[in-house]
Structure 1
Amino acid sequence: MSIKRIEPGKRMSGAVVHGNTVYLAGQVGEGATVAEQSKAALAEVDRLLAAAGSNKSKILQTIIYLADMSTFAEMNAVWEGWIDPENPPARATSGAPLATRDYKVEFIVTAAI
């Protein structure tokens, strides 16, 4: 089975396709709030899924890291407005320190092609 790397870089690829599955690198976004960063990061998820030949209706699993769990409801409001309500994925959310203090949320997505 072949492996296709989308937007490969020095440390990681934006996404990796193996068989009928696409694995996205953790996606973060710009903005001052969790809501702004969530919207930007999920737009990147949309873009990378499209580059792999997939879309949010085919997401299998999402892992979400929040720098501050008190922002859970704020992130969920964006998530619920973005996700395909007919095809919700398996999901976990956890609090964790992120790569920089500027990042408030990170989304890790696995989807079918």
Structure 2
Amino acid sequence: MINRHIQTPIMHRVVEKDGLVFIAGTTADDVSVGMRGQTEQILAKFDRFLAEAGTDKSRVLSVTIFITEFDQKPEMDLAWKAWLTPETFPARATVGVSNLGNGTLIEMIATAAK
């Protein structure tokens, strides 16, 4: 199957191949809202990207999360748990990083089934 790039504001943000949807590194637009707010913005973008690709959050297989402030991870977890139910939690890795630039506290990448 040929790669199909989903039209999003940033080219190649979402790629579909062989029944999988790959979402590239995604950050919040408003970095003034703290960890929970930034997480909620990213998850809202994921909802849009997944819908454009013909799937939804219940089909997410894995997510890698990069955060700059590991002590704020509980705030990220609150948004995460509000977005998904325990029955649909995908595989997830959270990685602490020193800097994501410009006030960004969190960045996520995801893979979902079609």
With the length of structure 1 as denominator, give the TM-score of the two structures.
0.90
Count matched residues: 112
- 2:14 corresponds in structure 1 to 15
The 8 Å contact of residues 8 and 49 in structure 2, kept in 1 or not, is answered as no
Instruction: Flag structure 1 segments of 5+ consecutive residues without an equivalent.
Output: none
Could you state the TM-score of these two structures normalised by the residue count of structure 2?
A: 0.90
Between the aligned partners of 1:72 and 1:8, the Cα distance in structure 2 is 28
Give the fraction of aligned pairs with identical amino acids, expressed as a percent.
33
Question: 1:87 offset after TM fit, Å?
Answer: 1.3
Q: Note the C-alpha offset of 1:40.
A: 0.5
Structure 1 residues 8-51: Cα deviation after superposition (integer angstroms, max 9, x where no partner): 788x5110000100000111112320011001111000000111
In structure 2, runs of 5+ residues without a counterpart are none
- Match in the other structure for 2:25: 26
- What amino acid is aligned across from residue 94 of structure 2 in structure 1? T
2: distance between equivalents of 1:9 and 1:36? 20
Bigger shift: residues 92-101 or 82-91:
92-101
Residue aligned with 2:26, SS: coil
Following superposition, the deviation at residue 97 of structure 1 comes to 3.3
Q: Which has the higher helix share?
A: 2
Letter of the 2:20 counterpart? T
